Chains A and B, each alone.
Chain A
Amino acid sequence: MPGTRHASAHRPRVGVVKFASCDGCQLTILDLEDQLLAITEKFDIVEFAEATSNRSQGPFDVLFVEGSISTPEQAHEIVQLRRQATMLVTIGACATAGGIQALRNLADHDAFNRAVYPQPQLIKSLATSTPVSEHVAVDAELYGCPISGSQMLELLTALSIGRRPQLPDEAVCALCKRLGNPCILVATGEPCLGPVTRTGCGALCPSFGRGCYGCFGPKEAANSASLAAWFGTLGQSDEQVAREFAKFNVNAPAFRAVVEAKR
């Protein structure tokens, strides 16, 4: 029976690494305080610089990767890490879509460099911030800025007992409705990205009366163009509409298309 037969098997070797990111997703893992002991009983955490000074270069049964690929070194390193990982899971908006730093993908990277740094020639960054999946094969993705602790726990549980991870790709709206939140867009006319955004956050912002920022990125079949057009009928300018979509997941294709069309 699952959960009984697999329990005594060897503990999978797990690593957590980061690229261009704020470490918030790693902190979300550490925030699973009540579960950490149970997790370490099931998984052998061999690399997690945010949490332990024990280090490992691999190999890993499961490697969690936070952060986007933003420099030439990172582009090289992710390929090396992929070779060490049986299963590679990207976590968070940076790793899955390029993150907030991917705003530069739609701007002049060199101009940014010159404006910010006194000696821009010392800076070795790529012109774009890109998701890990543009560089290596990815086996699973946890979305969000930051990720959801409960989704991380669901993935670990699914790995532990051998079930399909239950990570729905429906809109935030579905949870809003189950929770009994009236639709902010309909009730107030304020913009909300919930209808095109993947669920997972617990409908956090709408539950506090604020429209969704799209932290979890586009849902499957996200019809951003239709929602953007509706924002227009509510009186938003093209620039305002573009700003709604130009956030943590600006580089996700379904959101980026609106930004490029409206800005």
Chain B
Amino acid sequence: MVSAVEPKTYFLPRQDLAKLLDRLHDGGRQVIGPTIRDGAVMLDPIERVDQLPVGWGIDNAPGKARLVEQHGSRVFDQPPGPSSWKRWTYPPRLTEFAWTDAAETDAAPAPRRPKPVPAKMAPQAFLGVRACEIAALRVQDKVLLEGPVVDRDYAARRRDNLIVAVECAVAGGTCFCTSMGTGPEVRGDFDLALSELDDGFVVRVGTDAGRAALEGLTLPAATSDQTAAAAASVARVRAQMGEPLPMDGLPDRLMAAAESPRWAKIAERCLACTNCTLVCPTCFCTSISQRSDLDGDGASAERTWDSCFTLDFARVAGGNFRTRVEDRYRQWLTHKFGTWWPQFGSSGCVGCGRCIAWCPVGIDVREELLAVAPPVAPAADPPPIAPVAPMPSIVPSALTLPTPTAEGPRPMPWRTVEVLDRRRETRDVITLSLGTDDPGLLAGRPGQFVMAALPAVAAPPISVSRFHPDGLELTIRAAGPATAAIVNLERGDTVALRGPLGRGWPVELAEGRDVMVITGGIGLAPLRPLLDHMLARRDRIAHIHLAYGARTPGDRLYVDELDRLAASGVIDVAQTVDRAGPEWLGRVGVVTQVIDRIMCSCDRTIAFVCGPERMMRATVDVLHERGIPDERIWVTLERHMDCGVGLCGHCQLGRYFVCKDGPVFSLAELGPAFAVEGL
């Protein structure tokens, strides 16, 4: 990590670059820098100066990056190539954790559990980091280090980075850092910064570590002519890029263009090949895949770079949120240039131009941004970008996760828990009661969820359906192989849990109010802890209405509990089914018809809703008709989740990660992001 000290400027004669390279290698450091490989400038390990791209330039245009031999001795006259530093800070493949194998002992097989795989790498020096790339490292630092859960491997790699920046002396045809405010001048967050002149380099020192790397080189101070030449060089680059793009209000412009016909036009050209996202130095999305032998032994979870352009990216059991390519492109562009601002406090784009040059069909984001979200005449007082809504203080537990540190334990470890009991709820739904004395798991709140992992099988997110003093319950439908494996667990089996995760229902908001709990089918599971919580404080809540729909009477969960509750009269229970046989004496019809009939004081009612988005949309319409505002309608959302802790990117929605900012949201928080097709 870089800390600022008083800068001082030196001159490194060209022939002494090798000496600097030697110094960078000191202490066993691996030096990564630009080199010509396979017809492009790549960022690879560098041992000698002659591996650097001496005398090469690049002709960059949309969909085009050709090496051009320039026969000079200059080293760094190229715009960014297809590899970025994230290859070294955030590797394309990584073993996330390995499973212990089943070890037979005298007594019984030891339960298998996930064990973290420590990162092993030499400290690295990055030689030739451009201004836009320093900005990109800052962007990824924000995403991966500022929690609440930190990426431990990234933290370890970044801690040991020595950043040797290079100020650009040429702009590529795809560069637009001046539009994004990230360059071309190197302004901070470096250990050393080089500006290349014809006979050598002006060297700025940014940190003590940078100064230490110069020790023993006995460099002269840079003359005023040399520093002036360096300044003139980077000024020429700024001029080369021309007029910056009109970025004012871009996030709002993009959000307003959510239904633009331009998305479909882009999809006619877009290959959904993932190149733009994987060459992007800030895109951080990953997926977890399972490795094992035929027995399920030797199992590990491997993390790989993924992209919001793949079909699998937004897949959930029984559906997919972004099947159309236009929706995937919209997701990428609106996140990168729009919702990244309220989510992380900056743009996700640093203007390096990689996505333009390395798009196989030359799609130019500069052009598409202007077409999708054209600049508008400046308003007298442009509305500021709203920051991410702070978590309501009523759910403090989600806010007080341990502060992550690079040295400390991973703050969201896997805990092995034992199956105490297994109950069948319906034909295809099982409730598992799991025993644990882990205080973290026991401190969960209504509406939170866990990731549940078994060896060699994907770990799905599962809502907690009850917290009890000795553990918790999960109510699970076998929707696919991963959930089927969990459903098939028997008493005495073990499963690894990560959690409780996310933000739960705002239970305190129910106090003094009428409460409507509206759900269908298995959607009752994440609401059951909320009912438990309210029933334990029954005197503090006015009326509680539960409206519960199911396909058939046999698809209802917790039937005995519901019957007892209904009979006791402590809450009003209204049940309805889509279709029923003669044995059913209750209502037939959709759940929204039930809500219509609930007698409530709607000016003091809060509603908690869980179900498929189409059902929730219809429910919300009815609640609006009854005068309940967005602030008092809370929903819980389903999205693809691979990590559950805000690092893998799959569940990104608008300005949120559903896993860590949700899954419970008020409609006021979601705004236009609620129940939009393709988001």
State the A residues within 8 Å of B (CB).
1-5, 7, 35, 38-39, 41-42, 153, 156-158, 160-164, 166, 168-171, 173-174, 177-189, 192, 194-196, 209, 219-223, 226-227, 229-230
Contacts of A177 in B (CB 8 A): 82, 92, 274-275, 278-279, 305
Q: Which of A1, A157, A179, A194 contacts B455 (CB 8 A)?
A: A1
Q: Which of B44, B64, B290, B297 contacts A163 (CB 8 A)?
A: B290
In the assembly, what is the distance between CA of A187 and CA of B458, in Å? 37
Which of B44, B81, B293, B361 has the most chain A CB atoms closer than 10 A to its own CB?
B361
Q: Which residues from A are CB-within-8-Å of B481?
A: 158, 162-164
Instruction: Name the contact of A2 in the complex, choosing from B42, B272, B362, B485 (C-beta under 8 A).
Output: B485
- Name the residue on A nearest B287 (C-beta): A168
Task: Provide a sorted-by-A list of 14 A–B residue pairs whose CB atoms are within 8 angstroms.
Answer: A3-B292, A4-B102, A38-B293, A41-B294, A163-B458, A171-B271, A174-B274, A182-B38, A183-B82, A184-B39, A186-B358, A219-B272, A223-B269, A226-B271
A164 touches B63 (CB 8 A): no
Interface flag for B493 (CB, 8 Å) = yes
Q: Give the nearest-CB partner of B39 in chain A.
A: A187
Please tell me which one of the listed residues B93, B273, B493 contacts residue A173 in the complex, with CB atoms under 8 A apart: B273
In the complex, are the beta carbons of A162 and B457 less than 8 A apart?
yes
Chain A residues lying within 8 Å of B271, measured Cβ to Cβ, are 171, 195-196, 222-223, 226-227
Segment among B306-314, B374-382, B607-615 that sits at the interface with chain A = B306-314
- Tell whether, in the assembled complex, residue B38 and residue A187 are in contact, meaning their CB atoms are under 8 Å apart: yes
- How far, in angstroms, from A54 to B482 measured CA to CA in the complex? 36
Is B270 among interface residues, defined by CB-CB distance under 8 A? yes
Task: Tell me whether B289 is interfacial, beta carbon within 8 Å.
Answer: yes
User: Is the CB of B109 closer than 8 A to any CB of chain A?
Assistant: yes
- Chain B residue with minimal CB distance to A197? B273
What mask results when residues 48 to 90 of chain B are scored 1 for a CB within 8 Å of chain A, else 0?
A: 0000000000000001111100000000000001110001000
Tell me the complex Cα distance, A26–B19, Å. Answer: 56
B372 smallest CB distance to A (angstroms):
18
Query: Cβ of B37 and Cβ of A182 under 8 Å apart?
Result: yes
Is residue B316 within 8 Å, beta carbon to beta carbon, of the partner chain? no
Q: Is B454 an interface residue (CB 8 A)?
A: yes
Q: Of B66, B274, B484, which is in contact with the most chain A CB atoms at under 10 Å from its CB? A: B274
Beta-carbon contacts under 8 Å, B459-496 to A: 480-482, 484-485, 488-489, 493-494
A183-B358, A186-B64 given; A160·B295 CB < 8 A? yes
- Contact indicator A42/B294 (Cβ below 8 Å): yes
Contact A3 B296 (CB under 8 A): yes
The answer, yes or no, to whether B106 is at the interface (CB within 8 Å) is no
The 6 closest A-B pairs by CB, nearest first: A3-B296, A182-B40, A177-B278, A195-B273, A178-B92, A171-B273
Residues of B within 8 Å of A2, CB to CB, are 296, 454-457, 485
Q: Is the CB of B275 within 8 A of A161?
A: no
Q: Which residue of chain A has its CB nearest to the CB of B485?
A: A2
CA of A192 to CA of B311, assembled, Å = 21
Min CB distance, B103 to chain A, in Å? 12
* Interfacial chain A residues near B359, Cβ < 8 Å: 186
Residues on the A chain within 8 Å of B270, using CB: 223, 226
A61, chain B: closest CB distance, angstroms: 16
Closest chain B CB from A2 CB (angstroms):
5
Q: When the two chains form their complex, are residues A221 and B311 in contact, meaning their CB atoms are under 8 A apart?
A: yes
Besides A42-B294, A221-B325, 18 other CB < 8 A contacts?
A: A1-B489, A2-B456, A4-B109, A157-B292, A160-B296, A162-B485, A163-B457, A164-B458, A170-B307, A170-B310, A171-B272, A174-B278, A178-B93, A182-B38, A182-B42, A183-B360, A187-B67, A229-B361
The yes or no answer to B112 lying at the interface (CB within 8 A) is yes
User: Taking A178-B304, A226-B269 as contacts, is the C-beta distance between A157 and B311 under 8 angstroms?
Assistant: no
* Closest chain A residue to B495, Cβ basis: A1
Docked pose: A84 CA to B229 CA in angstroms? 80
CB neighbours (8 Å) of B37 from chain A are 182
Q: Which residues on B sit within 8 Å (CB–CB) of A192?
A: 360
Residues of A within 8 A of B563 (CB): none
Tell me the smallest distance from the CB of A160 to a CB of chain B, in Å.
5
Given contacts A3-B455, A180-B42, A223-B272, contact A35 B312 (CB under 8 A): no
- Which single member of A181, A187, A220, A229 contacts B311 (CB below 8 Å)? A220
CA distance A112 to B271 in the complex (A): 36
B294 in contact with A157 (CB, 8 Å)? yes
- Compute how far the CA of A209 lies from the CA of B38 in the bound complex, rounded to whole angstroms: 7
Q: Which chain A positions have C-beta within 8 A of B289?
A: 166
CB pair B294 A156 closer than 8 Å: yes
Expressed in whole angstroms, the minimum distance between the Cβ of A193 and any Cβ of chain B is 10
* Alpha-carbon separation in the docked complex, A188 to B38 (Å): 10
The complex places the Cα of A187 from the Cα of B61 at a distance, in Å, of: 11
The reply to whether A163 and B39 form a contact with Cβ atoms under 8 Å apart is no
Asked if residues A227 and B360 are in contact (CB atoms below 8 Å), the reply is yes
Nearest CB in chain B to that of A160: its residue: B294
- Cα A227 to Cα B63 in complex, Å, equals 11
- Name the interface residues of B354-372: CB closer than 8 Å to any CB of A: 357-362
Chain A residues near B539 (CB-CB < 8 A): none
Given A4-B296, A39-B294, A173-B275, does the pair A186, B455 have CB atoms closer than 8 Å?
no
Check if A186 sits within 8 Å of B310, measured CB to CB.
no
- Taking the complex as formed, is B268 at the interface, i.e. its CB lies under 8 A from any CB of chain A? yes
The minimal Cβ–Cβ distance linking B68 to chain A, given in whole angstroms, is 12
Nearest Cβ distance between residue A241 and chain B, in whole angstroms?
13
Bound Cα distance from A87 to B510, whole angstroms: 52
Residues of B contacting A168 in the complex (Cβ-Cβ under 8 angstroms): 310, 312
Chain B residues contacting A171 (CB-CB under 8 Å) are 271-274
**Residue in A38, A158, A173 whose beta carbon sits within 8 Å of that of B360 in the complex:** A173
B42, B66, B82, B493: residue with the most chain A Cβ atoms closer than 10 Å: B82
Selected contact of B293 from candidates A1, A157, A185, A189, CB within 8 Å: A157
The reply to whether A226 and B278 contact each other, CB–CB distance below 8 Å, is no
Contact of B39 among A7, A160, A164, A182 (CB under 8 A): A182
The residue of chain B having its C-beta at the shortest distance from the C-beta of A187 within the complex is B39
Q: What CA separation (Å) do A41 and B294 show in the bound complex?
A: 10
Is B493 within 8 A of A1, CB to CB?
Answer: yes
Verify B357–A186 contact, CB threshold 8 A.
Answer: yes
Residues of chain B with a CB closer than 8 A to A174's CB: 273-274, 278, 305-307, 310
Tell me the nearest residue of chain B to A3, going by C-beta.
B296
Residues of B within 8 A of A179 (CB): 92
